[in-house]
Structure 1
Amino acid sequence: MSHKSILVHLANDDEHQTRLDVALRLAKQNNAHISALFITTPVGMPVEVYGRGASVQYLLDATKSAENRADELEKEFKDICHRENISHNWIVEEGDHISLLADHAHAADIIIVSQPTFEHFEDRFRTRLVEEVTLLSGLPCLMIPRGFDASKDIGKRMMVAWKGTREALRAVRDNLDSLRKAEKVFLLTIQPETEDALSLSEVRNYLKRHEIEAETVKIAQTENSIGQTIQDAATAQSCDVIVCGAYGHSRLREMLLGGVTKHLVKEATIPVIMSH
């Protein structure tokens, strides 16, 4: 992957070290700059639920714990960046995670976030971070699955989930450099129809003009969901990342993802790059 300015979301949650390790590895591989944004406000307590049982003392204690972790992580981060000669900056802020990430997105090429969990009531709010950052930031969003091994490759074998839409084309354009550097690129279509055949041919030729040879994979939809079919196809081709459009819409000022994207956000077992 070759995005030159990486914004990584950090907080005092279980997956923050993995996100940072992935960002450091990608920056080292691609001579990229890292902006590490550590947000001390509890990631599981967004503004919408502040008045619903979240005590002032809980928030104070959680924020203080996050501040302490930020101090520890800052030293580790800066030591690694200096040792590896990685361009970087470290930011600590308090507030709404989505708003702060959107504010800092203007100086980045890609945002790294974690796949949310779905075990507790609060998790329904955590999912908004992936959804809204993807839909509102204007940047591709690299979602790292839970429990991911940060030493694994990302971007050597890439699966593009193609559909003849603006979002899918945006995902391709957002990742042209990464696709060009990949060892293998697959262009996946599910249940291709006659009207989609031309757009598939066009996008393959478009990639060729950018020196990207993509192998077309056509799959008839099975009883599985489209999201699961995408995952299965990526697994069958030993892909290490899925590139897809994030299909969403606004309803009463709430940003919502479509069913396929929601499935990947919830169930993906390899990293996913989403663009809207």
Structure 2
Amino acid sequence: MNHKSILVHLANDEEHTTRLEVALKLAKQNDAHVSALFITTPIGMPAEIYGRGASVQFLLDATKSSEDRAEELEKEFRETCERENISHSWVVQEGDHISLLAEHAHAADVIIVSQPYFEHFEDRFRTRLVEEVTLLSGLPCLMVPRGFDASKDIAKRVMIAWKSTRESLRAVRDNMNALRKADKVFLLTIQPDTQDALSLSEINNYLNRHGINAETLTIAQTETSIGQTIHDSAQAHGCDVIVCGAYGHSRLREMLLGGVTKYLVKEATIPVVMSH
């Protein structure tokens, strides 16, 4: 990507070092500033924690552990940034993760978060950080998949999931600089109606005028969900990131019935940049 101010979400979770490595790599490549926001409050309460006393003790212990980890990581972070000459800032706060990320979003171009885990039924409601941050921040949200190898390239081969919606157009405009620098850009539309077919040509011409030569792909029919078809096509074309709009339908409908956003948040194995 080619954003100049990167906000990375940090917490004491399994994927926090990967997020930070991705942020530092992108910052180094694009001469960008990294704002590291470490939130010490636990993201969610484990399902096995019951009762007021147990919950309070868990929060106290988890917060103390996070504070200790924040101190360790800050030292590593600052040393790396100084060694690599990366502009940086470090903030530690306690509170709601979604609210704090949205608050700090005013000074960023993109937010880096991790794909949530879905081990329990409750996780679908408790770990909606990706979707909520995308909706509330007004910024593109780069979701790093679980277990991602941070040494891999991002945005060398880009798949744009296109539909004639405000969200898709926002996603394209949010990532114009990255699209210009990409080695290959694909513009994908699935089961297009007349309006989609027309807008696909128009958006392709728009990209051309900005120096972006995209290859258009049209899938007339699909036996899988739209989300899976987008993901499978991105993999088939060797793409390392998917650019798409988030929540073209109502949030309630997507939560209850599925949708592209829900599928990608849950199932993606390559990074996804979402805009709303």
TM-score category, normalised to shorter length: over 0.9
- 2:80 maps to a residue whose letter is I
Q: In the aligned structure 1, how far is the partner of 2:103 from the partner of 2:50?
A: 22
Q: In the aligned structure 1, how far is the partner of 2:232 from the partner of 2:32?
A: 31
Per the TM alignment, residue 53 of structure 1 is displaced from its structure 2 partner at its CA by: 7.7
- 2:32 maps to a residue whose letter is A
Change in 2 beyond 3 A, CA 1:74/1:128: same
Per the TM alignment, residue 152 of structure 1 is displaced from its structure 2 partner at its CA by: 0.1
Q: In the aligned structure 2, how far is the partner of 1:209 from the partner of 1:68?
A: 51
SS at structure 2 position matched to 1:22:
helix
Match status 1:35 vs 2:35 = yes
Match status 1:185 vs 2:185 = yes
- Unaligned stretches of 5+ in structure 2? none
Change in 2 beyond 3 A, CA 1:50/1:261: farther
Per the TM alignment, residue 37 of structure 1 is displaced from its structure 2 partner at its CA by: 0.2
Question: Equivalent residue for 2:114?
Answer: 114
Change in 2 beyond 3 A, CA 1:41/1:153: same
Change in 2 beyond 3 A, CA 1:146/1:257: farther
SS at structure 2 position matched to 1:55:
helix
Per the TM alignment, residue 125 of structure 1 is displaced from its structure 2 partner at its CA by: 3.6
SS at structure 2 position matched to 1:185:
strand
Match status 1:91 vs 2:87 = no
Match status 1:129 vs 2:129 = yes
Q: In the aligned structure 2, how far is the partner of 1:152 from the partner of 1:131?
A: 24
Change in 2 beyond 3 A, CA 1:184/1:129: same
Matches within 5 A, 1:58-207: 58-207=58-207
Change in 2 beyond 3 A, CA 1:257/1:166: farther
- 2:250 maps to a residue whose letter is H
User: What TM-score comes out, normalization by structure 1 length?
Assistant: 0.94
SS at structure 1 position matched to 2:17:
helix
Q: In the aligned structure 2, how far is the partner of 1:54 from the partner of 1:36?
A: 31
Per the TM alignment, residue 225 of structure 1 is displaced from its structure 2 partner at its CA by: 0.5
Change in 2 beyond 3 A, CA 1:90/1:194: same
Q: In the aligned structure 2, how far is the partner of 1:274 from the partner of 1:68?
A: 32
- Alpha-carbon deviations, 1:211-253, whole Å to 9, x = none? 00000011123211000000110011000000000015366xx
Question: Equivalent residue for 2:44?
Answer: 44
Q: Is the 8 A contact 2:38 2:93 kept in 1?
A: yes
Per the TM alignment, residue 95 of structure 1 is displaced from its structure 2 partner at its CA by: 0.4
Question: Equivalent residue for 1:239?
Answer: 239
- Alpha-carbon deviations, 1:7-34, whole Å to 9, x = none? 0000000000000000000000000000
- Unaligned stretches of 5+ in structure 1? none
Question: Equivalent residue for 2:15?
Answer: 15
- Alpha-carbon deviations, 1:63-108, whole Å to 9, x = none? 0000000000000000000000000000000000000000000000
Q: Is the 8 A contact 2:44 2:127 kept in 1?
A: no
- Alpha-carbon deviations, 1:153-176, whole Å to 9, x = none? 000000000000000000000000
Q: Is the 8 A contact 2:179 2:212 kept in 1?
A: yes
Percent identity of equivalent pairs = 80
Q: Is the 8 A contact 2:43 2:127 kept in 1?
A: no
- 1:191 maps to a residue whose letter is Q
Question: Equivalent residue for 2:25?
Answer: 25
Question: Equivalent residue for 1:249?
Answer: 250
Q: In the aligned structure 2, how far is the partner of 1:178 from the partner of 1:85?
A: 22
Q: In the aligned structure 1, how far is the partner of 2:144 from the partner of 2:63?
A: 24
Per the TM alignment, residue 124 of structure 1 is displaced from its structure 2 partner at its CA by: 2.4
Aligned residues: 271
Q: In the aligned structure 2, how far is the partner of 1:175 from the partner of 1:52?
A: 45
Q: In the aligned structure 2, how far is the partner of 1:53 from the partner of 1:263?
A: 37
- 1:99 maps to a residue whose letter is S
Q: In the aligned structure 1, how far is the partner of 2:238 from the partner of 2:156?
A: 10
- 2:162 maps to a residue whose letter is W
Change in 2 beyond 3 A, CA 1:207/1:258: farther
Per the TM alignment, residue 257 of structure 1 is displaced from its structure 2 partner at its CA by: 9.8
Change in 2 beyond 3 A, CA 1:14/1:163: same
